């Protein structure tokens, strides 16, 4: 015997929190909704873990960043779930799901059944072992995906203040953690295989600005190589990081951010998968009509690109979750999800936003010596992507609006001359 609910959300991260808020806004009865999460706390704004949480002074701590404060909405504390009659099953891993029988089996042996399931399982950090390097479980090696990881990183920074931190990976985690480690007075070296940081998004010119800024803060870069092994002492601590190029770097702390993989294995053979995620339609509905998927794990049609994508960013998690709940509550009588991809980061005193797709020809504009600058991407004669560093609220809104409109661009030199002015006058 187990419990039965109308709606079950599997996963208790960002998307789950925003879905719960949307359910209550649309009106559900007490006892209808259950959230099952492996994490030991209710949904929170995961982006805080690599930013405010790592600050040496007045760091962000729960309950201050439970969802949905990241979108300036209500903060859903444990009491909020109680008051709204939402069953929060935390610290509980779901071990298997049977979508035909509409049941989930938890690690504690309970069977939970649903009428409608929302999959919001997010993703897991890729491990070095998956690239043939051993030693990830050493005392001073840290990944950063959840609160437990963030607490470990804080402890490591405190116990090795002034020491050497090696950051493996030049993506989002690498960049944001390197900045936080510097702010915590560590000597930081970033190691990554590409020619420049944030290779999935930045152009060489944009990357060069951030790398120079990081160097001015003391960060060293070792590019074009990867880790080959760790030197590990008898106390299970890594003492050095050995690289493929033959060099070796002394280490007190190692932070690894080498990408993620969506948590979809429970559904392999049961639901249609695409591009590494669970394939959904414009209502976030999977190949089984009672099962929806949202956030990092969902591959959904991105109308503005005319193709399906899986995105790994918080805005997409928030909005896809809300759209799924709207579709469920309106019995699918809703428009197709029409999402403009939005990514952002904040590091040191810098802050950037990106909208759309980084495909096609690139036109840079603005002051790359430390002022406001950016880039446009133009594909088949249309603006498809925009990046801006150091913009005002109005300027960010303008690049978002311009990118969504996909205006025609005939002359790239003219676009470069107009720069930000182009977006402001579209």
Contact residues for ligand NAD (CB under 6 A)? 50, 131, 168-174, 176, 192-194, 199-200, 226-227, 257-260, 312-313, 343, 345
Kindly tell me which of 52 and 193 has the beta carbon lying closer to ligand ISD. 52
Residue 48 binding ligand ISD, by CB under 6 A: yes
Kindly tell me which of 281 and 418 has the beta carbon lying closer to ligand FAD. 281
Whether the Cβ atoms of residue 38 and residue 108 lie closer than 8 Å to each other:
no
> Residue 189 burial by CB count (10 A; 0-12/13-18/19+): exposed, middle or buried?
buried
Residue 356 binding ligand FAD, by CB under 6 A: no
Site for ligand FAD in 56-115 (CB under 6 A): 93-94
Distance CA 405, CA 281 (A): 23
Q: Say which entry of ligand NAD, ligand ISD, ligand FAD, none residue 169 contacts (CB below 5 to 8 A, set by partner kind).
A: ligand NAD
Distance CA 17, CA 20 (A): 5
Helices (H) and strands (E) in the chain, counts: 9, 28
Q: Which stretch binds ligand ISD (CB under 6 A): 45-53, 150-158, 395-403, 415-423?
A: 45-53
Site for ligand ISD in 296-315 (CB under 6 A): 314
Minimum Å gap between C-beta 94 and ligand FAD is: 4
Kindly tell me which of 45 and 296 has the beta carbon lying closer to ligand ISD. 45
Distance CA 390, CA 379 (A): 25
Distance CA 177, CA 171 (A): 10
Residue 17 binding ligand ISD, by CB under 6 A: no
Can you say how many angstroms the Cα of residue 264 is from the centroid of all Cα atoms in its chain? 16
Residue 12 binding ligand FAD, by CB under 6 A: yes
Binding residue for ligand ISD, selected from 17, 47, 257, 419, defined by CB under 6 A: 47
DSSP string, 29-97: -TTSEEEE-SSSS--B-GGGGGTGGG-SSS---TTTTBTTGGGT-----HHHHHHTT-EEE-S--EEEE
Binding residue for ligand FAD, selected from 343, 373, 376, 396, defined by CB under 6 A: 343
Binding residue for ligand FAD, selected from 15, 179, 197, 227, defined by CB under 6 A: 15
Contact partners, residue 355, CB within 8 Å, separation at least 6? 340, 341, 342, 385, 386, 399, 400, 403, 404
DSSP string, 159-177: HTTTSEEEEE-SSHHHHHH
Kindly tell me which of 28 and 198 has the beta carbon lying closer to ligand NAD. 198
User: Contact positions toward ligand FAD, by CB under 6 A?
Assistant: 11-16, 36-39, 46-47, 49-50, 93-94, 120-123, 144-145, 263, 295-297, 312-315, 317, 343-345
């Amino acid at each position: 015997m187990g419990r039965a609910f109308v709606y079950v959300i599997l996963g208790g991260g960002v998307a789950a929190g925003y879905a719960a808020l949307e359910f209550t806004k649309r009106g559900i009865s007490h006892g209808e909704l259950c959230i099952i999460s492996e994490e030991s706390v209710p949904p929170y704004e995961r982006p805080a873990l690599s930013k405010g949480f790592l600050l040496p002074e007045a760091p962000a701590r729960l309950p201050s960043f439970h969802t949905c404060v990241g979108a300036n909405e209500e903060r859903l504390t444990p009491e909020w779930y109680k008051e709204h009659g939402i069953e929060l099953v935390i610290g509980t891993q779901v071990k298997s799901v049977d979508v035909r029988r509409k049941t989930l089996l938890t690690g504690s042996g309970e069977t939970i059944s649903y009428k409608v399931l929302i999959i919001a399982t997010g993703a897991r950090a890729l491990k070095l072992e998956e690239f043939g390097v051993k030693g990830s479980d050493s005392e001073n090696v840290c990944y950063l995906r959840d609160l437990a990881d963030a607490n470990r990183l804080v402890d490591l920074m405190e116990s090795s203040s002034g020491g050497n931190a090696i950051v493996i990976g030049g993506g989002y985690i690498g960049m944001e953690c390197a900045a936080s480690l510097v702010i915590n007075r560590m000597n930081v070296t970033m190691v990554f295989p590409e020619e420049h940081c944030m290779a999935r998004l930045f152009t060489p010119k944009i990357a060069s600005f951030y790398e120079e800024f990081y160097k001015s803060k003391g960060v060293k870069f070792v590019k074009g190589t990867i880790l080959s092994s760790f030197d590990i002492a008898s106390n299970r601590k890594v003492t050095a990081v050995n690289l493929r190029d033959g060099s070796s770097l002394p280490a007190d702390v190692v932070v690894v951010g080498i990408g993620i993989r969506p948590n979809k294995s429970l559904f392999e053979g049961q639901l249609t998968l695409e591009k590494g995620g669970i394939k959904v339609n414009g209502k976030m509905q999977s190949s089984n009509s009672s099962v929806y998927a949202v956030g990092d794990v969902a591959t959904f049609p991105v109308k503005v690109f005319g193709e399906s994508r899986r995105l790994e960013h918080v805005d997409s998690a928030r909005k896809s979750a809300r759209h799924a709940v709207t579709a469920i509550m309106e019995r699918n009588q809703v428009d197709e999800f029409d999402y403009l991809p939005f990514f952002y980061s904040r590091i040191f005193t810098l802050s950037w936003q990106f909208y759309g797709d980084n495909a096609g020809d690139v036109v840079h504009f603005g002051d790359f010596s430390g002022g406001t600058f950016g880039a446009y991407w133009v594909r088949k004669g249309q603006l498809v992507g925009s990046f801006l560093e150091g913009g005002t609220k109005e300027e960010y809104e303008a690049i978002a609006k311009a990118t969504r409109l996909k205006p025609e661009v005939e002359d790239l030199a003219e676009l470069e001359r107009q720069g930000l002015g182009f977006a402001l006058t579209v």
